[in-house]
Amino acid sequence: MIKKSSHSVIGSMLNFRTVYFFFYWHIRSLVKWFLRKTTGLCELQRICYGKPVGYIRSQGVEYSLQHSKSPEIQLMLNTLNGIAEKLRFTGRNQKIVLEQSVKTVLLVKQIHPSVHKQFIVSLSRCFEHIWGYQQLFHEIEGLRLTQFDSLNNVHEEKLTRLWAALMPKVPLEARITKQWQDIGFQGDDPKTDFRGMGMLGLENLLYFAEEYPSAAHHVHLHSIHPTYGYAFAIVGINLTSLLYNLLKDGTAKTHVYNACKSLPSIRVFHQLYSYLFYEFDKFWIESKPKDVMQFNYIRDQFESNIRDILKNPSTVFRINFVVNTV
């Protein structure tokens, strides 16, 4: 028996993919042309009129725009990407950009605005989802790359607030102290633990502790359990990393597009983080780990579960904590 070399197998796979995509794009173009002729609507109109609001509609619009052969549409996408990267998709500029972008689509697709007013509303909302998400990622990335600075009074003040929120009845004896280990930092100075996620890790922890104090205290209490305890702050920063990756690879779009009625803000990121922290705590306790050495395994299981849930296009996590006394 003659075995095929690995190069031959790879070559065959590449040829198959080339043929597949060739026919896919030609069939897709033919189907789009046929549906346009029979319905009188372009693909974007069919999506906005036929798909439910949220992830399904916005993702459909995003896919359609990305695969458009129109030079005008591609130029519009590049412009919007640049605006989102510079965090300029806000306020009055957001309104102007939306109007100009929708107008471009109307002209390219030859859509009469007076006849398709609802299409304009729906498309605008999809644009807010798509480029609001991109802008959110760039904002999050900026925080992640901003290292905690002990000489920055704002950074120090936020760190002090974190202690006060989690340990309101216990005064902090000093800036550098073993007390920080009581809320799950590794050493006497928390700044070293923020290196991986920068200020994003601190911002997430602080939001959870201040906005959902009952849930945060509940989770912190579990973290000091004599059998199933874990390092609260370190686990929190690890979950920041998990959520950052979900946002970066687009998995989080399902929740964000379904949860936001308009432009996604950093608040939706912090809320999702708080949800994940609370749910991870439950998952950890239910897993009954033998010791903290099982953290990576349990954490990977938890991430896999979250990713599976987010594969459902209707998924939206409800941030409504029910704190038990267990």
Task: Identify the band that residue 309 occupies on the pLDDT scale cut at 50, 70 and 90.
Answer: very high
Q: Is 90 exposed, middle or buried (0-12, 13-18, 19+ CB in 10 A)?
A: middle
Tokens of 43: 């693909």
Q: What is the pLDDT of residue 28?
A: 57
DSSP assignment letter at 146: S
Average per-residue pLDDT for the chain: 91
Average of pLDDT values for 228-254?
A: 98
277-296 mean pLDDT? 95
What digits encode the pLDDT tens for the residues 68-102? 999 999 999 999 999 999 999 999 999 999 999 99
Cβ proximity of 119 and 48 under 8 Å? yes
Q: Is the pLDDT of residue 292 over 60?
A: yes
pLDDT at 14 over 80: no
87: left (phi over 0), alpha (psi -120 to 50) or beta: left
**Residue 316 pLDDT greater than 70, yes or no:** yes
Confidence of residue 226 (pLDDT cuts 50, 70, 90): very high
What's the pLDDT at 30? 57
More confident residue, 14 or 45: 45
**Residue-wise pLDDT tens digits, 17-41:** 564 444 444 565 655 555 565 677 9
Give Cβ neighbours of residue 263 (< 8 Å, ≥ 6 apart): 89, 90, 94, 128, 132, 135
Token output for 2:
């003659």
pLDDT of residue 40: 74
**10 pLDDT above the threshold of 80:** no
Listed range (4-18, 182-196, 218-232, 236-250) with the worst mean pLDDT: 4-18
- Secondary structure (3-state) at 190: helix
- pLDDT score of 31: 57
Per-residue pLDDT, averaged over 261-271, amounts to 96
> Looking at the predicted structure, is the pLDDT value of residue 200 above 80?
yes
Q: How far is CA 196 from CA 76, 143, 154, 183, 192, in A?
A: 35, 11, 19, 18, 9
